[in-house]
Structure 1
Amino acid sequence: MNPLRQLISQTAIYGLSSILGRFLNYLLVPLYTYTFSAAEYGVVSEFYAYAGFFAVLLVFGLETGYFRFRQKPEYAGTEVYSSGLSFLTLINLCFVAGVWLWQQPLADALRYPDYPEYLLWFACILALDAVTALPFARLRAENRAWRFAGIRMAEIFITIGLNLFFLLLCPKLPALWPDSVLTEIYNPNLGVGYIFLSNLIASICKLLLLLPEFRAVPLRFDFSILGPMGRYSLPMVVIGFAGMVNEMLDRAILKIMLPYDLTTNLKMLGIYGACYKLSILMSLFVQAFRYAGEPFFFSYAGRADAKRAYALVMQYFVIAGVFIFLLVMLYIDLFKYFIGAEFRAGLAVVPILLLANLCLGVYVNLSVWYKLGDRTGLGAWVSLAGAALTIALNILWIPRWGYVGSAWATLACYFFMVCLSWLLGRRYYPVAYPLGKIGSYLALGLALYFANNYLLLYLRWNVWLSGTLGLMIYAGIVGIFDVRPLLKRR
């Protein structure tokens, strides 16, 4: 199969589990924002922000390390997998044990003294996700995308089903079936805790579905493999942690940095977290591309036309990303109903966050220079520079502009990382990216967005007419200048 076509097909399959599947999960946002207040939803946003940091730390960068070392002739792929999986299992068992012993002091420190079980549940969720990361990486490396997608989809459907059960059905059980045993189990005071509990049960089911991948090889520690793989992978932890700073720090510190009382700060955090969900289509597209792109970059690296293929991938990635930006923003009057009315005060951050996630996807494309050149340490410095900028801008802008300052800080950080990574890539792994065409499509997307705003605000056009016209113009230009020539070459 043509390599580019294979990458597109793999991205589509992974998209089935990440974009389509998580879009179904995304449909839970109306349930949350119509069920809970902004302050209650702020608790959810805060916990998942913390979870992002630990998710990076507990995997130790071994996903990328596995992709790299299974390709080396001096190592057997099964031995690399076995050693990495054994290490992750041991470390995460220790992590859960530590949280279990210290859950009450940790809950007191986070100002949730009445809900220490939240921390234990989250520790178990994080550990299960970390331990299953390597089996999922193995499925990706072996091009078993359908099994990967099936397990991911099962996890998502279980999560959705349990949320609907706990948040919609259980509150009605006392009136419908007063003698049911479920009425004794359900505790209405647990509130948003049922969101976490649903996630935990789904993670356990995911582990059970992946058991064949655990039984495929014996678990053992081979330090001749773990040593060099750890040296390669640990900078990826720095890169990933810095990436979490860029992605999650705003939601982790808004409760502390906003200049209001605790309840108001949680309300602002809830509004920002809900509006962040409206940029989820872009972030899910980037995630699906990353799932398919990382093994593609490594497997294609030795070919003569590799750099040409990477440039072409970048071009079509930006084309698709700009389309997603326009799809959301030209129909924002539809998308806004996915969140409750109380949360729509933060809609101004949505275009900023969409562009920020598009920049993140461009950075993922550019990252081939340090991954293929074994310069992960230098890549870590790029991420650390971005994280430092994120921290500084959030400290500077949150007290002044609130969560809007956080959104601008995210965009500024990712744009800075794109520029820095491109400059370093020119030196260490030069790829002739079509910068003119990429810039033209970005400019076209922004022009159509501002033109749509002008038509709506000043000429009073119909929302559907204006949005559809903008998308048709964009699709027509892409078809003429990129799709049509590609079909002719075929």
Structure 2
Amino acid sequence: MNRYKKLGWNTFIIGIGSMGSKFMIFLLVPFYTFYLSPSEYGQADILMMTISILIPIVTLSIADGVFRYTMDKASKKQVFSTACMILLIAGTILILLTPLLRSVPMLQNYYGLFLTLLIVQLWNTLFQQQVRANGKLILYSVSGLLMSGVLLVANVIFLKYYDMGVDGYLYANLLAFAVNTLVLFFGAKLYKLFSFRAVNKALLKKMLIYSLPLIPNAILWWVMQVSDRYILTFFLGIAANGLYTVAAKIPSLLSMLSSIFFQAWSISAIGEKLKQNDSFFTGVFTLFSCLFFVATEGIMLIVQPFSAILFSSAYHGVWQYVPFLLIAVLLSSFSSFLEVSYMVEKKTKQLLFTSLKGSVINVGLALLLIPTIGILGASIATLAGFLVTWLLRMKQIQFFNQIEFKKMFWMSMGLLITQSVYLSFAGNPSWWVQGMFALGLFVCQSTILVKKFGAFRGSKKVSQEGMVNR
């Protein structure tokens, strides 16, 4: 199968399931704004974000090692069993630390739910990576669709009919993740891969050498995505975090596409051991960037009326915080694309330096800007952090010269950043000005696509003539 077609097929299959669950989370945002106050939504979001950062720390990011070494054709039973032992130990330690963790003010009222949800998500992360590495992408997608259905029904029951507030939000997520975890475990017959005898210390050492550097990288990535919310809560209160959380959900449409593509892209890149100077690598980046430039522009155009229609009146003003967050997600997606290059080479340590510098910029600017200009400062800080990270990774793997159609690429980036500044500070942006930005970007991207597909046809013709001459 043609490499582009295979990547497209994998993206489609993963997208079916992931789009279901991730899009459902996005569609539930208006629902949450009607049944949760800004302070309640802010509290629920802080708890879920805390779980997301604890997962790589508690598990030593072993799930990433499972994916990488299973793709390397190592013994699936040894890889999976070794990872399971890490999770069993991690779960035991968490339970033993209950008296200490229960004393954390943020967790006191929700500790039982918080701990249960954390442990379920630990196993869910491992099972997802194993199933994906095993190539069972249809099961992966079906389980995602089922999870989205459970999440919808559970939220309606717990929030609308029982009015359970933050507890209901957590119960709905717990039920959805539990169903997804069980479907993956039994659907892929993962129980057949586990054996205490298959635990391999030598393999564990190799997996940890690969996965341990990903822990601080995940923390630093999380710092850029989430630390602003803690700083907002400290300076402006939990309600301000609730507003920012809703604003961040709109760019999640873009990050949803990015995460789907990244899962398929990592399978292709690692499976074929691609180098960043491979024509397939650069060709995919060209098409990937075109899609994301256009998608970002599309969301930019509708964000203001979209917010007024979907969200309750308490959240109508959040659209002003979205443009910078959209560019941040765009840059984060580009960074994730390049991250695969590090995974192929197993050079995960090098990721730390780029993420560290980006997170320092993010936190520093957030501390400076949030007290000065409020919630908008958090958006600007996030954009700056991801911009620095992306540029450093481009420099580190020497990808600046690999970009195709450079002038059009950088012109598109400049147009989007300028438009985001205009939208965030204009107050009442003009549709005419918006249209001019959109037209400029679409001309740039259309030019790139025409030239790219022209090159495809040319190379295909040369290949066919070569076969005829033989």
Pick the TM interval, shorter chain.
0.7 to 0.9
Cα deviation digits, residues 405-449 of structure 1 (max 9, x gap): 1111111011101111111112xx897232444324334556787
* Inter-CA distance 345–459: structure 2 relative to 1 (3 Å threshold): closer
Q: Structure 2 CA distance, aligned partners of 1:83 and 1:156?
A: 30
Contact 2:240/2:375 (CA < 8 Å) preserved in 1? yes
Contact 2:131/2:140 (CA < 8 Å) preserved in 1? yes
Where do residues 13-28 of structure 1 align in structure 2 (5 Å cutoff)? Answer: 13-28=13-28
Q: Structure 1 CA distance, aligned partners of 2:438 and 2:352?
A: 42
* Inter-CA distance 37–315: structure 2 relative to 1 (3 Å threshold): same
Larger displacement relative to structure 2 (216-225 or 311-320): 216-225
The match for 1:209 among 156, 177, 183 is 183
Report how far residue 454 of structure 1 moved.
13
The match for 2:165 among 184, 191, 205 is 191
1:482 — aligned with what? 452
Question: Normalising to structure 2: TM-score of the pair?
Answer: 0.87
Cα deviation digits, residues 62-107 of structure 1 (max 9, x gap): 233223323546x4233112211222233134324533x445422x
Could you tell me which amino acid in structure 1 is paired with residue 263 of structure 2?
A: Y
Could you tell me which amino acid in structure 1 is paired with residue 5 of structure 2?
A: R
Could you tell me which amino acid in structure 2 is paired with residue 63 of structure 1?
A: A
Identity of aligned residues (%): 20
The match for 2:210 among 232, 237, 240 is 232
* Inter-CA distance 458–398: structure 2 relative to 1 (3 Å threshold): closer
Where do residues 406-485 of structure 1 align in structure 2 (5 Å cutoff)? Answer: 406-426=378-398, 432-434=402-404, 435-443=406-414, 445=416, 476-477=446-447, 479-483=449-453, 485=455
* Inter-CA distance 470–433: structure 2 relative to 1 (3 Å threshold): closer
The match for 1:243 among 197, 207, 221 is 221
1:82 — aligned with what? 81
* Inter-CA distance 466–153: structure 2 relative to 1 (3 Å threshold): farther
Could you tell me which amino acid in structure 2 is paired with residue 204 of structure 1?
A: A
Where do residues 304-453 of structure 1 align in structure 2 (5 Å cutoff)? Answer: 307-336=278-307, 337-426=309-398, 432-434=402-404, 435-443=406-414, 445=416
Is 2:123 the partner of 1:152?
Answer: no
* Inter-CA distance 208–458: structure 2 relative to 1 (3 Å threshold): closer
Q: Structure 2 CA distance, aligned partners of 1:432 and 1:148?
A: 33
Is 2:268 the partner of 1:296?
Answer: yes
Where do residues 26-65 of structure 1 align in structure 2 (5 Å cutoff)? Answer: 26-65=26-65
Q: Structure 1 CA distance, aligned partners of 2:386 and 2:64?
A: 21
Contact 2:255/2:329 (CA < 8 Å) preserved in 1? yes
Q: Structure 1 CA distance, aligned partners of 2:354 and 2:206?
A: 22
The match for 2:115 among 123, 139, 142 is 123
2:195 — aligned with what? 219
Give aligned pairs, total: 454
Cα deviation digits, residues 211-255 of structure 1 (max 9, x gap): 234312123331111112112210011111111111111112321
Question: Normalising to structure 1: TM-score of the pair?
Answer: 0.84
Report how far residue 457 of structure 1 moved.
6.2
Could you tell me which amino acid in structure 2 is paired with residue 308 of structure 1?
A: S
Q: Structure 2 CA distance, aligned partners of 1:430 and 1:446?
A: 19
* Inter-CA distance 474–326: structure 2 relative to 1 (3 Å threshold): farther
Higher relative contact order (CA 8 A, sep 6+): 1
What is the root-mean-square deviation in Å for CA atoms of aligned residues? 3.1
Contact 1:394/1:409 (CA < 8 Å) preserved in 2? yes
1:268 — aligned with what? 240
Q: Structure 2 CA distance, aligned partners of 1:72 and 1:159?
A: 35
- Where does the alignment leave 5 or more consecutive residues of structure 2 unmatched? 461-470
* Inter-CA distance 11–460: structure 2 relative to 1 (3 Å threshold): closer
Cα deviation digits, residues 41-76 of structure 1 (max 9, x gap): 221222222222113323422233223323546x42
Contact 1:363/1:418 (CA < 8 Å) preserved in 2? yes
Contact 1:456/1:466 (CA < 8 Å) preserved in 2? no
Larger displacement relative to structure 2 (472-481 or 309-318): 472-481
Cα deviation digits, residues 434-485 of structure 1 (max 9, x gap): 244432433455678799999996876699x999978975775455343455
Q: Structure 2 CA distance, aligned partners of 1:384 and 1:33?
A: 34
Q: Alignment partner of 1:331: what SS?
A: helix
Q: Structure 1 CA distance, aligned partners of 2:142 and 2:77?
A: 23
Report how far residue 272 of structure 1 moved.
0.7
- Where does the alignment leave 5 or more consecutive residues of structure 1 unmatched? 171-187, 259-264
Q: Structure 2 CA distance, aligned partners of 1:232 and 1:139?
A: 20
Q: Structure 1 CA distance, aligned partners of 2:280 and 2:173?
A: 39
* Inter-CA distance 299–356: structure 2 relative to 1 (3 Å threshold): same
